[in-house]
């Protein structure tokens, strides 16, 4: 997917406002997420592999908080189940307008429905695969439990939730180290100190990370029989939760 280079926070911004998924972000999003989230491309590829294993005939795969549809496209090109479709949901109109353009250039047997909605309001039914790839972290803390319960209930027996998140750590030294290593990763990707600190301010109170044990216990309470990390790169992890 073509994308402009992310330089949104390259110049000093007097008052760094809260981060929004608007047109300016959409223009640079693929470059931004690849240079900001360690392991992003590996996770996207693995979502396709997992979907090819877990997608069932006549079931639905959900991509919740799909942005420009990277996880949807990865699944779409690897699913071999018959009469399986993907429902991709995001509440940013700007993201979905661009995603629709991308979809028009993409050919594959699996149908994709794109829905502009809040993922808290979307029914999850007949699901074999649900993806929350760096989306739950933007949902208010008090709504996360209900969303995960809804996903659990909408999954078929043997279904899978792939949950990728930025993590925080109980131990202060670990928290500082992982944060510094993430910033070192971003610096190695060409972001300046100013870009890193202004982006950090913009995401404050917008992206709320939790610890792995908070995620694991809530997933178990929602009904999942097992929830384990299958991938981690510094403070970014992806979890497989099994129904
Ligand atoms: C990827 N999964 O490339 N309802 C619907 N969408 C929402 C909501 C909500 N309540 N809150 C946030 N979003 C993607 C990357 S980005 C992650 C996901 C990031 C959407 C928001 O509009 C944005 O598109 C996405 O969640 C988060 O695999 O930018 O760090």
pLDDT band for position 9 (cuts 50, 70, 90)? low
pLDDT digits (tens, 9 = 90+) for 198-239: 778 777 888 999 999 999 999 999 999 999 999 999 999 999
In a domain, 48, yes or no: yes
- Closest protein CA for atom 20 of ligand 1: 65
CATH of residue 193's domain is 3.40.50.150
Its sign, for the CA torsion 60, 62, 68, 71, is negative
In a domain, 20, yes or no: yes
CA distance 97 to 235: 31
Q: Across the strands, what pairs with 210?
A: 167
Which of 67, 98, 200, 207 is the pocket-test mutation for ligand 1 (most atoms within 8 Å of CB)?
Answer: 67
Judge if the beta carbon of residue 110 lies within 6 A of ligand 1: no
Its sign, for the CA torsion 140, 167, 158, 110, is positive
In a domain, 218, yes or no: yes
In a domain, 6, yes or no: no
In a domain, 10, yes or no: no
Which of 50, 61, 71, 90 is the pocket-test mutation for ligand 1 (most atoms within 8 Å of CB)?
Answer: 90
In a domain, 152, yes or no: yes
Return mean pLDDT, the chain: 92
Judge if the beta carbon of residue 119 lies within 6 A of ligand 1: yes
pTM of structure: 0.94
Say what percent of the chain tops pLDDT 90: 79
Span 27-36, average pLDDT = 88
Give how many domains the chain has, as a whole number.
Answer: 1
Please give the distance, rounded to the nearest whole angstrom, from the Cα atom of residue 238 to the centre of ligand 1.
15
Range of the domain at 228: 16-235
Judge if the beta carbon of residue 91 lies within 6 A of ligand 1: yes
- Closest protein CA for atom 27 of ligand 1: 135
Give the residue from 71, 37, 29 showing the smallest Cα distance to 161: 71
Judge if the beta carbon of residue 90 lies within 6 A of ligand 1: yes
DSSP code for 120: G
Judge if the beta carbon of residue 138 lies within 6 A of ligand 1: yes
In a domain, 98, yes or no: yes
In a domain, 167, yes or no: yes
CB contact burial 115-150 (16+ within 10 A = b; e otherwise): beeebeebebeebbbbbbbbbbbebeeeebeebbeb
Judge if the beta carbon of residue 238 lies within 6 A of ligand 1: no
DSSP code for 14: S
Using CB atoms within 10 Å of the CB of residue 64, give its burial: 0 to 12 exposed, 13 to 18 middle, 19+ buried.
Answer: buried
């Amino acid at each position: 997917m073509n994308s402009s280079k992310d330089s949104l926070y390259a110049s000093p911004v007097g008052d760094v406002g809260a981060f929004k998924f608007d047109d300016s972000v959409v223009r640079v999003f693929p470059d931004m997420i690849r240079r900001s989230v360690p392991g992003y491309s590996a996770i996207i590829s693995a979502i396709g592999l997992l979907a090819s294993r877990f997608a069932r005939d006549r079931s639905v795969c959900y991509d919740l908080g799909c942005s420009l549809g990277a996880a949807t496209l990865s699944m779409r090109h690897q699913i071999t189940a018959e009469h399986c479709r993907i429902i991709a949901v995001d509440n940013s109109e700007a993201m979905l307008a661009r995603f629709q353009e991308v979809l028009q250039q993409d050919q594959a047997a699996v149908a994709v429905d794109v829905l502009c909605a809040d993922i808290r309001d979307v029914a999850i039914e007949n699901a074999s695969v649900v993806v929350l790839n760096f989306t739950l972290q933007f949902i208010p803390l008090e709504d996360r439990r209900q969303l995960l319960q809804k996903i659990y209930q909408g999954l078929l027996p043997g279904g899978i939730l792939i949950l990728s998140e930025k993590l925080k750590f109980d131990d202060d030294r670990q928290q500082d180290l992982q944060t510094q290593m993430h910033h070192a990763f971003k610096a190695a990707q060409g972001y300046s100190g100013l870009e890193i600190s202004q982006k950090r301010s913009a995401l404050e109170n917008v992206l709320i990370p939790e610890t792995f044990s908070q995620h694991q216990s809530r997933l178990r309470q929602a009904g999942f029989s097992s929830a384990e990390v299958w991938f981690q790169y510094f403070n970014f992890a992806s979890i497989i939760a099994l129904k």
